[in-house]
Structure 1
Amino acid sequence: MEKLYVQSVLVTGSDRGIGLGLVRQFLEKPNPPEWVFATSLDPEGPSGKELKKLALDHPNLVVLQLDIRDLKSIEAAVQRVEEHVKENGLTLLINNAAILIKFTCLGNETAKNMSDLYNTNTVGTLQVSQAFFPLLKVAAQRNPQEGLSCSKAAIINISSDFGSLEKMSGWILSQVISYRCSKVAVNMLTRCQSLEYGPLGILCISMHPGWVKTSMGTCLMPTTVSESSSGILKVLSGVTEEDAGSFLDWKGNVLPW
């Protein structure tokens, strides 16, 4: 994991679950980033409590308010990040924020639920990536290393193997139609980003964090937040341009689309 050195990282949806686990992992590294940006819908509310406690012990942790569905909120976060990273740009963007409102099946899925999940999980990921792209591009241009890596500049979209058309994981356990569709779209977004941003020095991949028991959902074969987040960092330390546009899990396995 020591091959992974990022000067700055931003993790969306990082006041709980996998996002919070990733923030902890970065802060606890022997070579932590100069800046770790953690976002929450309400940093001053109960959900921001753990982040505020972490910030007391880690001066390199900056807690930001961010609603990935709100362009004004995104623009405000970009401005705050730019104030800290200055001419160095942003090294790593981890699009982790997502929602799962209802455990739906084909019989009770609704247009509103589909729209809400798509607007958050897919459109939100797109909007955040677009907004931070200039800072990622700066980081890529300033880094002299050849090829692509997460230490140079990267966008990591946290997806799910529920979005694999071939696997259709967990179908008997939970259909969650809207969630599956939104993650399929996230994977296509990753492929498009890889084609557009890869030549500019920005690595783009989708990642399945495992079946993690979090407040968003439960599973029969739980992976802990710590196992998932540490595994993700280990994978990120080894990915190269050969992995650009790919769909990997937290153990580094390639998943089918």
Structure 2
Amino acid sequence: MGELRVRSALVTGANRGIGLGLVQHLLALPNPPEWVFAGCRDPKGQRAQELQKLSSKHPNLVIVPLEVTDPASIKAAADSVGERLKGSGLNLLINNAAILKMNSLDTETLKDMSQVYTTNSIAPLLLSQAFLPLLKKAAQGSPGSGLSCSKAAIANVSSIGGSITEMYMWETAQCIAYRCSKAALNMLTRCQSMGYREHGILCVALHPGWVQTDMGSSAGHVPPVTVDASAGGMLKVLSSLSEKDTGTFLDWEGNVVPW
């Protein structure tokens, strides 16, 4: 697999965990993107300090205020990114922002399930809708036929927790809303792959592994995969994707994950 080559990329939930790792890896590529947009809820806040440090060293990194559950914030982010790109389009949208509630089948609530669904399933739909004109523009401006991430792509960061076949770690963490939201995100990815193929946009769902983040450690165990390995692996997988891969569900090592 070669290195990912994109002119522009946007990562949501980029202030920590996997999102921050993806931004760091994009900036460290041998041919880094001309623009890396890092979406985060509070760019000036305590939790965005690492991002702020990075942006002071990398003029191609732009921190974009983005609350993924707020349509007005999504529209403002799309407008801001569009202005910066000056008509060239966005090559890669990585829908990474997500939340987890440790609720069981007996303790799941309407409030928590609604919140998790809104962030994990509905937000990627709204973001993809808002950035679709920029993704289309990138696809139209790229030479050659076929689909690839260097042309235009949506990568939805999903989870093996959304696999109906696997029911991964059921005994340890039921996380009902999270599992259901990621299964829904997988279906959204399939729908997007069908609907956006004609526009030259590749769509894929990625399982990042069980990663050593605040979310990954919330079940009380030390996850086996580092942020560095997960982020680097996902970008390698993205670099290798072609038309045959649109609508698939893959892990950070490129293996097919059962639906």
- Please state which band the TM-score falls in when normalised by the shorter chain: over 0.9
Contact 1:2/1:31 (8 A) holds in 2: no
Aligned residues of 1:145 and 1:152 also touching (Cα < 8 A): no
| Alpha-carbon distance in structure 1 between the residues aligned to 2:4 and 2:49 | 28
Deviation at 1:217, TM superposition (A): 2.8
Which stretch of structure 1 is more off in the superposition, 134-143 or 109-118?
A: 109-118
The answer to whether the 8 Å contact 2:3/2:29 transfers is: no
Contact in 2 for aligned 1:232/1:250 (Cα 8 Å): yes
User: How many angstroms apart in 2 are the aligned matches of 1:71 and 1:163?
Assistant: 25
Give the Cα separation in 1 of the matches to 2:180 and 2:41.
24
Superposed displacement of residue 96, structure 1: 0.1
What is the identity, as a one-letter code, of the residue corresponding to 2:142?
N
Could you tell me which amino acid in structure 2 is paired with residue 69 of structure 1? T
Structure 1 unaligned blocks of 5 or more = none
Letter of the structure 2 residue corresponding to residue 146 of structure 1: S
Report if the CA contact (8 A) 1:157-1:190 is conserved.
yes
Q: Deviations over 1:36-81 (max 9, x none)?
A: 0001110110011111100011000000110011011011111110
Using the alignment, how far apart are the partners of 2:180 and 2:223 within structure 1?
A: 23
Unaligned segments of structure 2, at least 5 residues: none
Aligned to 1:33: 33
Structure 1 residue 232 and structure 2 residue 234: aligned? Answer: yes
Question: How far did residue 200 of structure 1 move?
Answer: 1.1
Confirm whether residue 122 of structure 1 aligns to residue 132 of structure 2.
no
- For 1:5-154, what aligned pairs fall within 5 Å after superposition? 5-100=5-100, 102-154=101-153
Give me the TM-score of the superposition, normalised by structure 1. 0.98
The aligned counterpart of 2:224 is: 222
Q: Structure 1 residue 220: deviation in Å? A: 4.5
Q: Describe the superposition over 1:99-128 as per-residue Cα deviations: whole angstroms up to 9, x where unpaired.
A: 11x311111111111111111111111111
Matching of residue 207 in structure 1 with residue 206 in structure 2 = yes
Q: Does 1:194 align with 2:196?
A: no
SS of equivalent residue, structure 1 residue 106: coil
Matches within 5 A, 1:151-190: 151-190=150-189
Q: Amino acid of the residue matched to residue 254 of structure 2?
A: G
What percent identity do the matched residue pairs reach? Answer: 58
Query: Cα RMSD over matched residues?
Result: 1.0
Amino acid at match of 1:225: V
Q: Determine helix, strand or coil for the equivalent of 1:87.
A: coil
SS of 1:215's equivalent in the other structure is coil
The secondary structure found in structure 2 opposite 1:109 is coil
For the Cα contact (< 8 Å) 2:216–2:223, is it kept in 1?
Answer: no
TM-score (norm 2): 0.97
How far does the alpha carbon of each residue in 1:134-160 deviate from its partner, in whole angstroms, 9 at most, with x for none?
000000011012210000000000000
Q: Secondary structure at the match of 1:147?
A: coil
Contact kept? 1:40, 1:47, Cα under 8 Å: no
Q: How many positions carry a matched residue from both structures?
A: 256
Q: Secondary structure at the match of 2:155?
A: strand
Structure 1 residue matching 2:87: 3-state secondary structure: helix
